[in-house]
Amino acid sequence: MAFHEVRFPANLSFGSVGGPERRTEIVTLTNGFEERNSPWAHSRRSYDAGVGLRSLDDVERLIAFFEARGGQLHGFRWKDWADYKSCPASQEVGFEDQVIGTGDGQTRTFALAKTYRSGEFSYVRPILKPVAGTVVTGIQGHHQSEGDAFTLDTARGEVTFAVAPGAGAVVTAGFEFDVPVRFDTDRIQVSVQSFRAGDLPQVPVVEVRI
């Protein structure tokens, strides 16, 4: 079992259906009130890769990718077109998009994260698979250049600054990112005749914890 740092063809994932899933345990008490609890700290995303197939060439590419991953055996990167930026989809990534930490004068490595806000509440999602070449950072409102000021670990979603940000300095970042996933089936069933008639194969994909 391993994780392959390769992205599922983005043009095939463009038409996919999917999104985040939460697990909530609900117990109804005898007085009619409820107790709700979630064993998951983070949501888990799932998709159907079959929906994005448009031609038999697409099917061939899907099968090749599936075989190279060993079915469910190895994980891979997935572009979620509904949520792949540190900023709104209509905007360009900027170095002040997300706050990822506060300097203490000693810490040089910071994990990328994206915060989802609604009203007074928020959820912080770890970003483990940033896209190389898209990550920009800032310290206390000043842009930092990759290579000179920081290096990026695309496999772990961490940036490491050459010089530790000073105490109290706000560390920010902007980025595009992928979702770490695997196929959720060891079988792909395709009929050429049915496919040409509009019957698309179901190819479930599910997020993995890494």
The answer to whether residue 95 scores a pLDDT higher than 60 is yes
Q: Tokens representing 183?
A: 């196929």
In this structure, what DSSP letter does residue 29 have? Answer: -
The whole-chain average pLDDT of the chain stands at: 92
Decide: helix, strand or coil at residue 138: strand
The answer to whether residue 210 scores a pLDDT higher than 80 is yes
CB 171 within 8 A of CB 101: yes
Stretch 6-31: mean pLDDT: 92
pTM for the model stands at 0.90
pLDDT band of 195, cuts 50, 70, 90: low
Q: Tokens representing 204?
A: 């479930």
Task: Return the H-helix or E-strand segment holding 5.
Answer: strand 3-7
Strand residues in 24-112 grouped as ranges (E): 25-28, 34-37, 44-48, 75-78, 98-102, 109-111
CB-based contacts of 37, cutoff 8 Å, min separation 6: 24, 25
Stretch 40-53: mean pLDDT: 90
The answer to whether residue 191 scores a pLDDT higher than 80 is no
More confident residue, 51 or 34: 34
Q: Where are the domains of the chain?
A: 1-84+179-209, 85-177
DSSP string, 52-67: G--SHHHHHHHHHHHH
Please, what's the b/e burial string for 90-126 (b: 16 or more CB within 10 A of its CB; e: otherwise)?
eeebebbbbebbebeeeeeebebbbeeeeeeeeeebe
Convert the pLDDT of each residue in 159-178 to its tens digit. Answer: 999 999 999 999 999 999 99
The answer to whether residue 7 scores a pLDDT higher than 90 is yes
User: Rounded CA gap, 60 and 192, in Å?
Assistant: 11
pLDDT band of 51, cuts 50, 70, 90: confident
Residue type, position 141, single letter: G
The answer to whether residue 198 scores a pLDDT higher than 60 is no
Alpha helices, DSSP H only, in 43-121?
Answer: 56-68
pLDDT of residue 196: 63
pLDDT band of 194, cuts 50, 70, 90: low
